[in-house]
Structure 1
Amino acid sequence: MPSLTKFLRLAVVPIGLVLAMQQGRAADPVVSDDFVKIGIMNDQSGLYADLAGPGSVVAAKMAIEEFGGTILGKKIELVSADHQNKADIGAAKAREWFDRDGVDMVADFSNSSVGFAVQALAKDKNKIAIIMAASSDFTGKACTATSAQWVYTSYSNGYSLARTMTDAGDKSWFLLTVDYAFGHAFANDIRKAVTEGSGTVEGEVRHPLNTADLSSYLLQAQSSKAKVVALASAGADMANAIKQAAEFGINKSKTFVAPIVFITDIHAMGLASTQGLRFVSAFYWDRNPETRAWSEKFFKLHKAMPTMTQAGVYSAVRHYLRAIEAAGTDEAIAVMAKMKELPVDDIFTHNGRVREDGLLMHDMYLMQVKQPQESKERWDYYKILATLPADKVFPPLEASACPLIRK
């Protein structure tokens, strides 16, 4: 039998080797499998397809290409899906992606109901969800340690716009609201702003998503005492309301406000119908030479200038990949910690930061649609009236209902 000394000497060698191997692994990048896989989920064929849809997939590809298609020595893969604006379809696809396909992060949604379903699932599966939908609850009571909200919120585009107008003297409002989470969130924030600005909400009517004929709802708005009609909707619903209001002449007696306006909406409706419209936006393709250069590359691929959502998808995917690179791993909690630590500096925003509750803090812009004679080329649609600092358009952290925030 070997002596005790020899036995101990033999035992020490493998322990040392194990420690060395463990130290080496801790220093090396750690990726959960042979790829980093990103999913873009949104409306690919319905009323929100132009503002997000295939264009968001293009934007994500552009961000991936900036990294040469690899991260930490592993291939970056991209998948996409159409949730058809149905939460059950979105949740089922996300579960399939997480459980079977190895998707690490899902972005976009552009629909609050779908966003909430996938945000909760991503939390349970320790995956990241980056949301381009409006409800302030994503970074409020529904916030999670693995989710973030980019682009805009119902507060930034509803409350801040309504409060500005109310303070300027527009005191009486009527709400024309699309009847699901997106519209409800905007209506709530607008109502709060009007009330706090000593104004009144004279009435509200809700209509189903994707309603072609809004005449009966518009007539209720017309018969109200309100001076301002707020369209708590987006995409085709908002466009239909603006066009039909013009056809009926309602816009001559009422001021119409659309909290969420995308450049694709203006392109579809034309400057003659939309001139003078004011709203808050997170991005404009012709804001500076940098945004113009990137947008022209996007246009060559997509044949349309980018919306704020599509530019936001590019920014979010790019920042996510930077965070993986900095963390040395694709593990969700570690990556989100780096996303909150690193500044967001790209064509979408300079000096942006992801707050503790997951909200991307960034400047917004007060826009006005140009008159037809002011436009010098196709897609030359906006005038930037003012830059709105992040701390003015988003609520303070201490007001957040996010359970992650210690108060």
Structure 2
Amino acid sequence: MKLKCLLILFLGTLMLNAQQTIQPKITARVDTTDIQKKQVYQLYTNYLNSNIDSIYNNPYFKETNWKPELGTKDRSIFFLVDLPDDQTFLKSYPPKILQLDKIEEGRYQIKTLFDASGVPEQYQQFVPAAITKLYAVEQPDGSFLLENILEYDTQKWQHEQVGFINYVVSPFVTFDKTQAKEAVKFCKELAKEFGLGKVPEFNYYIANGSDEMQALLNFEYLMSYHTGLTDVFGRKLFTSYKSPFYKHELVHMLFPVKGLRPAIINEGFATWLGGPKQGIGYEESLLALSKQFQENRPLSLNEILNYEYKNKLDNNVLYVTGATICKLTYESYGTEGIWALLNSTPENYQQLLAKMNNQSFEEFSQYVLQYITDYAK
């Protein structure tokens, strides 16, 4: 992560003049002498120059029933643009269209490589950033609009309705209806415990591994990988675990973030009720972290909050520490205390915890760290 941050700084300093027009390069496979392909190429070029990381009704992109709370129309942008703005990103990782192919009448696929050149040896592990795939679909007037992969590529997947969950299942995954019923039961119990009322319907996409899941988000390749994602406002849950009962993401679906919820609270709450990842519960993870702390404990909670103390391949330290904060809060204040945490912000949650526990935040932090350390004794 530190090397990646340095890479971002390195690329950013090279691209101070990033306001120039983005003109994607093409491979020899892309034939822009074809009239429609040239039309699609121009559409995509216009799109890349349209502030793609801004949340607005982008005129080059088709998305039915779009509204601002859904974020950018292009599902890949949230993961793709990790530099200060889209123009800096696109200048740092110049887009190159690998393929622009007609796959059926009125529908083209666009595969684009986002790569960086002249990168020092120590940063080579972070390039290329991604290969994306979008569709360009002909409209009744002969024009084209870009489209996400999700709906078209899952139209032949298995669809199973279980209660309020509409499962969309990869053809490479065997659907477990018994586990799906357990997922509905889990959601109903949480809704009753926390006074959520009736759970609205949502789609639950079960992919065959991380690559297939990320393909649903418009990625043919992404440097990082993801095992679960919840789009609360779009009512969509994605998992690569092949399971219809992913507790952690189900908790995120039931308890949407209003405004900016602190990451340690948001992920901690989902970990307390659903474990940090599929098949591993909070208690098991707490036991493992306790043993880790006994060998090498962080000096303060700030080391965890700032990712100075973390595991190399997962976020379990932050997640389980946050879960412990939620557990202790629930034991003292019940659901009322939990809702206070869930409605807190990055600016006020430390003051809230200090007030609730009648001590300074640093004193409370040391208590939490000691609680975790002692758990396995």
Q: TM tier, shorter chain? A: under 0.3
| Structure with the greater alpha carbon radius of gyration | 1
Greater per-residue helix proportion = 1
